[in-house]
Amino acid sequence: MKKTIVFPISVILFFVLISCLNNDNEHENDIKLKVYSRNSLQTFYLEEEGNFIVLPDSVTNYYSVIAEREGFYTNLYHCNYGDTLFIDLDAVVADKFCGVIFEVYEYGNMYYTLSNVLINVYEDAIKNNSFTTDNNGRFAIDIENGQYTFSINPDTSHPICEDLQIDDASDYKDLYAYYNVFVKKPNIYIYPKESTILDVSLEFPQGGKIVKSIPEYGDGWKNLTVEPNGMINDQYEFLFYESKQQDYCQYYNGWVIKRENLSTFFNDNMKATGFNEKEINDFIEYWIPRLTESPFYAINGLNYDNPKLTKPTIPQFNRDGFVVTEWGVILK
């Protein structure tokens, strides 16, 4: 008998490079420069507007630099290592609720302004207002104090919504739309009780798409012959794919693990969850050689200002009957 399996895609594990911020108190009147590379964040300060040479500790090809100062719009710059930026900020509009809307792509460290984008404002689920950002992604609106939802790109199939409590209608707030994360190398293992022909498809309830797959996904994996030992079409040990989707990761529970302890951590954690020896070895053999850039990794998220996470409960499952397992990574 032919069966169909549908997977709603959700995040299981991902990693974030720890970066500790400097104390802002002594620089509260300075221009704060946040220099983002692919895997790190470093903070600098300027007392006044002017030239800034981009020389962070992390040497890479491309950076996003965010310049912030109280009473001014946030500016975004894109540059290379060693470039000289001229930091020139514009004052916010008086007596308006102001800010800049950014979209964040790939690993959370590539920033772009959302220019000329429609925003709908809702209060108690009723549309209260709408506005469009300017060429720099900025806005300045009249609004009363209250609880609102800002819907970014509301006419698309998957708008980004931000809940805001506005206590000062002349306040300033930047908004960040985390459109995409890249889910790296999820492996789907399938173990029917007997030789079975399957259709397997993936769903993205919050939006997303497959960018790579083996075998070719097309509009779904069709007519797969799967054996009890997990072999698929006498050729594959698992179904492989990678996907691009919105960032709905949680950043509150997890572990901070030293790089040299990652192998032991994953072995113990995955064994406690219920993965078998082959699935665990596949994960460790693939990922450990790729996790070398940071002395620490956070699993299931990280608060940059306070690199301490609440240890979650490890979910467990029983390998009885028809078994399907999956692991995957979002690397930030």
pLDDT of amino acid 280: 93
pLDDT of amino acid 203: 85
pLDDT of amino acid 41: 84
pLDDT of amino acid 155: 66
pLDDT of amino acid 10: 40
The Cα–Cα gap between 232 and 51 comes to 59
Helix (H) or strand (E) holding 84: strand 84-87
What does each of the 332 residues of the chain score in pLDDT, given as a tens digit? 555 655 554 433 333 322 233 455 677 889 999 998 866 789 999 999 999 999 988 888 789 999 999 999 999 999 999 999 999 999 999 999 999 999 876 544 678 899 999 999 999 889 989 999 999 999 999 999 999 999 887 666 556 778 889 998 889 999 987 656 678 888 999 999 999 999 999 888 766 778 889 999 988 999 999 999 999 999 999 999 988 776 666 556 788 889 999 999 999 988 988 899 999 999 999 999 988 888 888 886 433 334 455 666 777 778 888 888 877 776 65
Residue 307 corresponds to which tokens in the numbers above?
A: 């690199």
Residue 108: partners with Cβ closer than 8 Å, 6 or more residues away:
16, 178, 181, 247, 332
Largest Cα separation within the chain, whole Å, is 72
> Which residue in this structure is represented by tokens 């040479």?
53
pLDDT of amino acid 48: 94
pLDDT of amino acid 154: 63
Residue of 308, 327, 309 lying closest to 317 (CA atoms):
327
pLDDT of amino acid 162: 82
- Cβ pair 111, 36 in contact under 8 A: yes
The Cα–Cα gap between 121 and 133 comes to 13
Please state at what angle helix 277-287 crosses helix 262-273, rounded to 10 degrees.
Answer: 150
